[in-house]
Amino acid sequence: MYRISMLPNNDRIKEIFSDDHIRELKEYGNVVINEENKNPGPERVKELIRDADIAITSWGCPRLTGDILDAAPDLKIVIHAAGSVKGIVSPELWERGIRVVSSAEPLAIGVAETTLGLAITTIKHVWWLNQSLERGGWSEESYKVRELYDITVGIIGASRVGRHFIRLLRNFDVDILVYDPYLTGEKAEELGVEKTALEDLIKRSDIVSVHAPELPSTYRMLNKERLELLKDGAILINTARGSLIDEEALVDVLKRKRIYACIDVTDPEPPKDDHPFRTLPNVILTPHIAGLATNGRKRIGRYVLDELKRYFAGEKLDGEVVKSMLEYIA
């Protein structure tokens, strides 16, 4: 029987894992659950992970450094019940042959669905029509209401989120452009999209959706020059990371009422109380919630269990992260 250590605080565990999930975990062995409701520090993690074969981490867990791993010499796999593993991994994990899994896949589903929702409600001007009606109006003619039909959608980053968004867009009659330096022509053809340069994507798209990872090479990738390439009336959606966009330059474009923006992420977070994003009429601002639906977090718990099943069956792991991937993943 295996020893499985659940390291996140107890509130986090309950958010992600249902009672049925926990019962299923216990079928594999002895499950050690963190009963504290505060995020565990390194010393607490050493206690929880002692002699574990499997460790489950999530938001709020510290980096698994060598001194922590010394407490679990038989540790074989770490499954991160959250997205990016960059906050919890250390070189020692791979040096000791410990496998690492990210739960970015189930999170990507929620982010892609949110992106689609923002695209539909914005292109139909739902937000602004509602405000007009609240003021006593009743006229759709003042807004150019459109649909996801016969338009071009540009996706920056063929990440897990980007690929889920592409699959959702297959339900609509739209052309899809993708910019991603790691996307091969063969893969683009398989996805049914046109691979193109970033500037070309921005110029041609009616909707531009950002799904690139946060890396030194992507910092402010949407700078002043590129933002000025957006069509009049274009919609820019960012559910990735705030650092990917030059916010000052974006505010300048928005103040000229040339485009619309749906901003779920800012840099820093939260934005200042007087940030223009909070008051500009052509901006929809949400508080980094694209992938955080309360009931959707249980999807992560299901994914962790499915990965464990694949692990015990000796099958390929869907969310495995190897050290070389840290250069280009979120």
Choosing from 95, 269, 278, 315, which is the catalytic residue? 269
In the residue annotation, 269 being an active-site residue is answered as yes
pLDDT of residue 60: 97
Spot the catalytic one: 288, 299, 302, 310: 288
For the chain, give every domain's residue range. Answer: 2-102+294-327, 106-285
Three-state SS across the chain? Answer: CEEEEECCCHHHHHHHCCHHHHHHHHCCEEEEECCCCCCCCHHHHHHHHCCCCEEEECCCCCCCCHHHHCCCCCCCEEEECCCCCCCCCCHHHHHCCCEEEECHHHHHHHHHHHHHHHHHHHHCCHHHHHHHHHCCCCCCCCCCCCCCEEEEEEEECCCHHHHHHHHHHCCCEEEEEEECCCCCHHHHHHHCCEECCHHHHHHHCCEEEECCCCCHHHCCCECHHHHCCCCCCCEEEECCCHHHECHHHHHHHHHCCCCEEEECCCCCCCCCCCCHHHCCCCEEECCCCCCCCCCCHHHHHHHHHHHHHHHHCCCCCCCEECHHHHHCCC
327 is catalytic: no
Predicted confidence pLDDT, tens digits, the chain (330 residues):
899 999 999 999 999 999 999 999 999 999 999 999 999 999 999 999 999 999 999 999 999 999 999 999 999 999 999 999 999 999 999 999 999 999 999 999 999 999 999 999 999 999 988 888 888 888 766 667 899 999 999 999 999 999 999 999 999 999 999 999 999 999 999 999 999 999 999 999 999 999 999 999 999 999 999 999 999 999 999 999 999 999 999 999 999 999 999 999 999 999 999 999 999 999 999 999 998 777 778 999 999 999 999 999 999 999 999 999 998 888
In 3D, which of 146, 135, 155, 283 has the Cα closest to residue 208?
Answer: 155
Would you state the pLDDT for residue 142?
60
CATH of domain 2-102+294-327: 3.40.50.720
Phi-psi region of 104 (alpha: psi -120 to 50; beta: other; left: phi over 0): alpha
Task: Answer yes or no: same fold for 2-102+294-327 and 106-285.
Answer: yes
For residue 164, the model assigns a pLDDT of 97
Catalytic residue among 241, 247, 297, 307: 241
| pLDDT at residue 13, rounded to an integer | 97
pTM of the model: 0.92
The pLDDT score that the predictor gives to residue 143 is 64
Beta carbons of 48 and 329 less than 8 angstroms apart: no
The CATH number of domain 106-285 is 3.40.50.720: yes
